[in-house]
Amino acid sequence: MTHDTPVRQAEESDIPELVRLRALLFGTIGGDFFDSPSAGDAWRDDLARVLRDKMKDDDAHILVVDGDTGLAACGIGTIAQWFPAPHSRNGRIGHLGGVITDPAYRRRGYSRAIMRGLLDWFRQRDAVRVDLYASRDGESLYRELGFIDHPDPALCWRP
């Protein structure tokens, strides 16, 4: 791992590669929840549209590392404004929407470099907490960077 990994902010021309890497992420996590066989490919077009929109917003930050012929790695951070509470003084909650490195580029420190860049961005925007769903492969990195088990049980509802 080097400390001078060239991480940069994603550009609109990166969108096809971002979609490719996100598809790899969901295939890696597996299971019907994250990689439903019935989902088809329409989600990819929706993702490209949302990425294009979010690249213009201040509440999202998309970092990438270039590879030889495309992107080697990417990571997406967003901040949502929730209601302030005693455990969340300003209600600014960050979420990591996936950090993924193409298998051909793994073990080079790219995910770590992207994570450091995203965590700096969350700090600069005064997020009081950052949530993520960790893959088995990524969990040790996230814990090393200070992530802990969430104090609340994670539940979801899908209409």
**What number of other Cβ atoms are within 10 A of residue 145's Cβ?**
13
Instruction: Provide the pLDDT for residue 108.
Output: 94
Q: pLDDT tens digits, residue range 58-93?
A: 999 999 999 999 999 999 999 999 999 998 999 999
Residue 96, SS3?
strand
pLDDT at 40 over 60: yes
Contact 54, 60 (CB under 8 A): yes
Does domain 7-144 fall under CATH 1.10.1840.10? My reply is: no
pLDDT band, very low/low/confident/very high, at 36 (cuts 50, 70, 90): low
Which residues lie below 8 Å from residue 27, measured CB to CB, with a gap of 6+? 35
Residues 16 and 13: their CA atoms lie apart, in Å, by 7
